[in-house]
């Protein structure tokens, strides 16, 4: 998928989630994953004003960050942040090498709060060769490790298909953490 298509997906999904029928008083994060022959790709969108509460380093981007790639000096901190707050485990309990491949700022709108900035992050991990690693287990708590009302909606993106809702990740006070989510194959 090209960078342009990824951007369009992220922006389009933000609009979809901001539809009046959506269930979110405030914008949520979204995670869309797609599976290729040898890897799994995740595109994560996070409202920047919510991320700023969990990762104050992003405030260095300023109050009105321009759309486009994130400044290079922030990349190591974002890489480390997603290393700490996103993980994929195969069905045999082996951890996949999930890493950030790009990060950019995009604009979005929401009926209640209007225009806001999104951080759009691409993550990717190679799949174990010669075996079925699915269902993968996604452990994810970006933002919600600090902002307890924050939620992330997870979608499966099949080739040429509308994203399919897989589940919702949110902080569970009974667990003291966000519950992992199983990611099925397309």
The answer to whether residue 64 forms part of the interface with other proteins (CB under 8 A) is yes
6 vs 53: CA distance, rounded Å = 26
Considering beta carbons, is residue 10 or 136 the nearer one to other proteins? Answer: 10
The answer to whether residue 172 forms part of the interface with other proteins (CB under 8 A) is yes
What are the phi and psi torsion angles at 157 (to 5°)?
A: -105, 105
Q: Which of residues 116-135 bind other proteins (CB under 8 A)?
A: 116-117
Torsion of CA 184, 54, 77, 18, to 10 degrees: 50
Number of CB atoms found within 10 A of residue 166's CB = 18
Decide: 96 and 136 in contact? Cβ < 8 Å: yes
Of 4, 5, 21, 97, the one binding other proteins (CB under 8 A) is 21
Of 129, 130, 160, 173, the one binding other proteins (CB under 8 A) is 173
20 vs 116: CA distance, rounded Å = 17
Phi-psi sector, 68: left (phi>0), alpha (psi -120 to 50), beta: left
Segment near other proteins (CB under 8 A); pick from 35-43, 112-120, 128-136, 154-162: 112-120
The answer to whether residue 149 forms part of the interface with other proteins (CB under 8 A) is yes
Segment near other proteins (CB under 8 A); pick from 6-14, 73-81, 129-137, 147-155: 147-155
Residues contributing to the site for other proteins (CB under 8 A): 20-21, 23, 25-26, 48-50, 52-54, 59, 63-65, 109, 111-117, 145-150, 171-174
């Amino acid at each position: 998928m090209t960078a342009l298509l990824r951007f369009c997906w992220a922006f389009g999904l933000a609009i979809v989630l901001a539809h009046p029928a959506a269930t979110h008083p405030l914008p949520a994060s979204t995670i869309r994953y797609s599976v290729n022959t040898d890897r799994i790709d995740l595109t994560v969108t996070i409202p920047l004003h919510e991320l700023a509460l969990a990762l104050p380093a992003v405030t260095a981007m300023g109050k009105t960050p321009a759309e486009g790639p994130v400044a290079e000096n922030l990349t190591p901190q974002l890489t480390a942040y997603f290393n700490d707050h996103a993980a994929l485990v195969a069905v045999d309990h082996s951890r996949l090498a999930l890493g950030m491949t790009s990060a950019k700022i995009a604009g979005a709108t929401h009926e209640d709060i209007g225009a806001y900035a999104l951080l759009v992050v691409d993550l990717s991990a190679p799949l174990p060769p010669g075996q079925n690693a699915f269902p993968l287990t996604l452990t994810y708590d970006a933002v919600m490790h600090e902002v307890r009302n924050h939620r992330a909606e997870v979608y499966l993106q099949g080739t040429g298909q509308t994203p399919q809702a897989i589940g919702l990740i949110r902080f569970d006070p009974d667990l003291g953490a966000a519950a992992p989510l199983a990611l099925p194959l397309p």
